[in-house]
Structure 1
Amino acid sequence: MAAVWPVTHERGDDGAMRVGGMELRELTSQFGTPLYVVDEQDMRGRARAFQQHFADAFAAHGTTCAVYYASKALLASRISAWMCEDGLGIDVASGGELELALRGGMPADRITLHGNNKSDAELTRALEVGVGHIVVDSLTEIQVLSDLAVSLDRIAPVLVRVTTGVHAGGHEYIATSHEDQKFGLSLATGAALTALHAVHDAPGLDLRGIHTHIGSQILSIEAFRESAERMLGLRADFAAASGVEVPEVDLGGGYAIAYTAGAEALDPSVAAREIADAVAGAVASVGGSWPAFSIEPGRAIAGPAGITLYTVGVVKEVALEDGGARQYVAVDGGMSDNPRTIMYGAEYSAELAARRSDAQPALSRVVGKHCESGDIVVRDVDLPADVARGDLLAVAATGAYGRSMASNYNAVLRPAVVAVRDGQAQVLIRRDTLEDLLSWDVAPA
């Protein structure tokens, strides 16, 4: 069973939650609600744990394993700086993510640029700043990148994105290694091998290796084992045909976290050892030299370190067909600050954050303020029957994909992101203002 709340989470005698040494109700008095809160100690501790455990596990087999933070989970320049200081690289999938990573001081050669449809401008910028890897996703992109590299007199360090056919974990929309989806080049059809030859032969491109990503919320080490075997088999096939052993293999990530009490999470210390051992078996089976490895833990660094705070507005009881009742608890945010429930059927945990209650638990649904019946934050949760307007509600494990997927639906203002540590708070991303919203609108002449 994995912890749902951040590592510094605690409650006072009056039931008030504290994270990072700060009372959450004090944070909301300063910054309002909704509010994203990041436990800096928790997030950076997870980053360092992945970096250390995977480095040690692969070093035991005589090779290296670098760790790349997934910027799509949650990104601010300060977070990029944390990852840099803690020894990680960062993967980005757009020009905007690239600029934020650079703004935080991440060296360009520790940045990997992903994306299935990168623009010429994004590829050009990546070449100009000297990113460490560009992951090509199609034969079309190989030609485009080659032309750009030649025109700029640069050499592009390339990884080929491979669809291995190993499908693991998560909702259909976040699975990334089955055949019928937009990412990568198929191992089964021979497209991946064709792409490796194309990159090897193209001017301006330096074939650094191969990359895959098999899904999200993965608990099965066996899935990583099978994916590694297929990737190393492809590497061996290319070496046999070309005489070249690519030096790098990126195994992706997708490590599961716990969103609700009793849920499992993938322990990085266990995962590192078992994945390294699985890779060793694959290397022994396939033959050839050991490449350098890398992984991308995804939400596993940011997700558990974050919570979202809401103020309760309306509470009402709704009769159910089975004769029971459900308590609907409406808060001042919703699908605009966390769309994952409506998009993926994601489950979350919620608790009162500013007081203790002795009331009986009531089957509850936490909903937002938007004009959608599917505007649900937490589908099913037991909350005290006396929850009332003005109460502070905390939702756990929202550090990944809340703010990065947030919108201005219904012209609401996106929340701030605040980091807490040792009793101090620091704004990472400020709250939208009404002036921001109006500035984007072009008023009639």
Structure 2
Amino acid sequence: MLKRFSLIKQLLIVFGILAILDVALLMPLVDYNMNAIIDKQMYNKLEEVQNSYAYFHSAPPGRMVAHSFSFIYNATTGAYDFDNNDNNSNLPDNIRMMLSALSSGALQSIINDPHHRVIKDKRTYGQQTYYYRVSKNKNMNTYIVSLLSSDYSDDLVTSMQARIIYLQYGFLALSALVLILWVLSLINPLRKIKAYVDNIKNHTESTLNVKRKDEIGIVADAIVDMKEDIERQEKAKEEMIHNISHDLKTPIALIKTYSESVKDDIYPYGTKEASMDIILENADRLEHKVKTLLYLNRLDYIGSEEKSLVPFDMKELIEHIVTQMNAMNDLQIETVLDHVSFLGNSDHWRIAIENIIENAFRYAKSVIKITLHKDYLEIYNDGDPIEEDRLEDLFSPYVKGVKGQFGLGLSIVSKTAEMYGYKVTAVNREVGVSFIFTKLDH
């Protein structure tokens, strides 16, 4: 549901929900814990009052000191000691009721307790709550009864609640400010990215400068790289169309010219049969180029589908290819082959390896050598080295190669290797060139 709103609105909604939950859930919990803390403080204050030597020896019994009332209960007489022979007539009604209740309750419990344990609790009379503490006076048969009105605790609670509320509101306001600034720091680069993508769509030149190392920065860098890749591909496709058009134009022109000549009973190569052979030769040449392009496109389709990576015996496949190649060429291929399995379709690999070997026959002077080890295949020829600036684009399907070749065969090799989790690279040796297949780490 929130996805329909902007990030700022999403933030405000989420923050509002959290604020409501804070008030509904956190505040009662704070109040509960605060009341427990206040109770503990009240009992501690009563203990301090009772432990004050100066208080018990200088203040008259029944007088209020530090918001509290303290009385001496004489266990021998069973009555409270009051000053001025006024009994307890000057005390508030709630205090008299508390003293009466304690004399028949808590005081009797502590008197009858051989350990004379301290008793502390609180009671409510009417709308007034009193905290009390009863303890035995040292070396005397008397007991100290101290009372503390909840007015004192109410003041503490009110003061603490006000502070907590102010702190909470301040924290919420500061958190909201920080979150808004943080969201704005996300929105600004996202807007830049959107504008950059729109410019790409509209074929408008622009730059994207997002100096971040987080996921947004990674996405921005990926989009910039994507744009550069698109531009390279567009440029390569334009070059491909130009080069393929030029390459196909020659056999098409020859077929058309010679066909018209034969139709007019003019034989460019002396006889009808010889002229038709040239026409068929160029037709075969044209067919081969078209089939190569179609196969390259088919590999793109296969690469996008889920593939079954079945292992096969690469040594057996290479031996079969070498036997056929040696029978058709004067130059013999040397091999150093281990029993190794590669992953993928053996027919696809056969076409890729044949393309490399055919390329080697085209440029080799005297040596072609195939070396096969685990996850490693090298096809070497002692031909001329490849220019360093052409090594990077050697396997591109759209770049014109050495001696006017379009490199479609090498493109097929590269796509086949990548499709099955391998990588092919061309490496210049001191003498000659090696094409090396290695398995990628996944």
- Is the shorter-chain TM-score for this pair beyond 0.5, marking a shared fold? no
Which of the two has higher C-alpha Rg? 2
* TM value normalised by structure 1: 0.21
* TM value normalised by structure 2: 0.21
Q: Report which of the two has the higher share of helix.
A: 2
Q: Report which of the two has the higher share of strand.
A: 1
Which structure is richer in relative contact order (CA contacts within 8 A, separation 6 or more)?
A: 1
